[in-house]
Structure 1
Amino acid sequence: MGTSLMLISPLPPTKPHQFTSSIFPHKTNQPISLPSSRKTSTKIQSTRNFGNFLDLKPEYQPEALDFDLPWHHPSDRPQFDVIIIGAGPAGIRLAEQVSLYGIKVCCVDPNPQSIWPNNYGVWSDEFEDLGLEDCLDKTWSMASIYIDDNNTKYLDRSYGRVSRKKLKEKLVKSCVFNGVRFHKAKVWEIKHHEFESIVVCDDGTNLKGSLVVDASGFGSNFIDRDDHTLRKRNYGCQIAHGVLVEVDSHPYDLDKMVLMDWRDSHLGNEPYLRDGNSKVPTFMYAMPFSSNLIFLEETSLVSRPVLSYTELKKRMVARLRYLGINVKRVLEDEKCLIPMGGPLPRTPQNVMPFGGNSGVVHPSTGYMVARTMALAPIIAFSINECLGSTRMIRGKNLYANVWNSLWPMERRFARECYTFGMETLLKLDLNGTRNFFDAFFDLKPYYWQGFLSSRLSLKDLLLLSLSMFAHASNSSRFDIVTKCPVPLAKMMGNIALEAI
Structure 2
Amino acid sequence: MSPPAPVADVVVAGAGPAGRSLARSCAARDLRTLLVDPRPQRAWTHTYGAWAHELPDDLPGEIVAARGRGVAIAQRTHDLDDEYAVLDTAALQQHLTDPAVAVRRARAVGATPAGVGRHPALLLEDGSTITARVVVDATGARQVLARRGTARELDGGRPRAEQTAFGVVVPRAVAARVSGDRLLFMDWRPAHGRPGWPTFLYAVPLDDERVLLEETSLARRPGLPMPELRARLRARLRAAGLSDAEIPDDPADTEKVRFPVDSPRHRSPSGVLAVGAADPLVHPASGFSLATSLQLAPRIATVLADTLRGGTEPVGVARAARRVVRSPAAVTVHALRRRGLETLLAMPPGEVPAFFDRFFALPPTHRRAYLNAREDVGASVAAMTSLFGRLTPRLRGHLIRGTLLGARSVRTEQ
Any unmatched runs of 5+ in structure 1?
A: 1-76, 268-272, 489-500
* CA separation of 1:398 and 1:348: change in aligned 2, threshold 3 A: farther
Task: Kindly provide the CA deviation profile for residues 108-151 of structure 1, in whole angstroms up to 9, marking residues without a partner as x.
Answer: 122323331111111122225353443111112x1111114xx2
AA of the residue aligned to 2:178: P
Secondary structure at the aligned position of 1:484 is classed as helix
Tell me which residue corresponds to 1:197: 120
TM-score by length of 2: 0.87
Q: Are 1:391 and 2:311 an aligned pair? A: yes
Q: Are 1:357 and 2:281 an aligned pair? A: no
Q: 2:70 aligns with which of 143, 162, 183?
A: 143
**Kept in 2: contact 1:226–1:346 (CA 8 A):** no
Root-mean-square deviation over aligned CA pairs: 2.6
Secondary structure at the aligned position of 1:260 is classed as strand
How many residue pairs get aligned? The number is: 394
Q: Are 1:477 and 2:396 an aligned pair? A: yes
Task: Kindly provide the CA deviation profile for residues 285-335 of structure 1, in whole angstroms up to 9, marking residues without a partner as x.
Answer: 111458973211111111112222222222222111111223254443222
Q: 2:21 aligns with which of 89, 93, 99?
A: 93
Tell me which residue corresponds to 1:423: 342
* CA separation of 1:470 and 1:335: change in aligned 2, threshold 3 A: same
| C-alpha distance in structure 2 between counterparts of 1:189 and 1:479, whole Å | 41
Secondary structure at the aligned position of 1:229 is classed as coil
* CA separation of 1:216 and 1:475: change in aligned 2, threshold 3 A: same
Where do 1:79-478 residues align within 5 Å?
79-127=7-55, 129-140=57-68, 142-148=69-75, 151-172=76-97, 175-176=98-99, 179-188=100-109, 190-192=111-113, 194=115, 195-201=118-124, 206-224=129-147, 226-231=149-154, 232-233=157-158, 235-246=160-171, 249=174, 250-254=177-181, 256-267=182-193, 273-274=194-195, 276=196, 280-288=197-205, 293-326=210-243, 327=246, 329=248, 330=250, 331-347=252-268, 349-388=270-309, 390-394=310-314, 396-455=315-374, 457-478=376-397
Task: Kindly provide the CA deviation profile for residues 46-81 of structure 1, in whole angstroms up to 9, marking residues without a partner as x.
Answer: xxxxxxxxxxxxxxxxxxxxxxxxxxxxxxx97211
Residue 487 of structure 1 and its aligned partner are, at CA, apart by: 4.1
| C-alpha distance in structure 2 between counterparts of 1:170 and 1:286, whole Å | 26
* CA separation of 1:113 and 1:291: change in aligned 2, threshold 3 A: closer
Secondary structure at the aligned position of 2:281 is classed as coil
**Kept in 1: contact 2:38–2:106 (CA 8 A):** yes
**Kept in 2: contact 1:79–1:209 (CA 8 A):** yes
| C-alpha distance in structure 2 between counterparts of 1:247 and 1:165, whole Å | 20
**Kept in 2: contact 1:225–1:345 (CA 8 A):** no
AA of the residue aligned to 2:21: R
Secondary structure at the aligned position of 1:108 is classed as strand
Residue 206 of structure 1 and its aligned partner are, at CA, apart by: 4.6
| Runs of 4+ off more than 6 Å | none
Residue 342 of structure 1 and its aligned partner are, at CA, apart by: 4.4
| C-alpha distance in structure 2 between counterparts of 1:198 and 1:171, whole Å | 24
Secondary structure at the aligned position of 1:116 is classed as coil
Secondary structure at the aligned position of 2:74 is classed as strand
Secondary structure at the aligned position of 2:43 is classed as coil
Secondary structure at the aligned position of 1:311 is classed as helix
| C-alpha distance in structure 2 between counterparts of 1:92 and 1:166, whole Å | 13
Residue 182 of structure 1 and its aligned partner are, at CA, apart by: 1.4
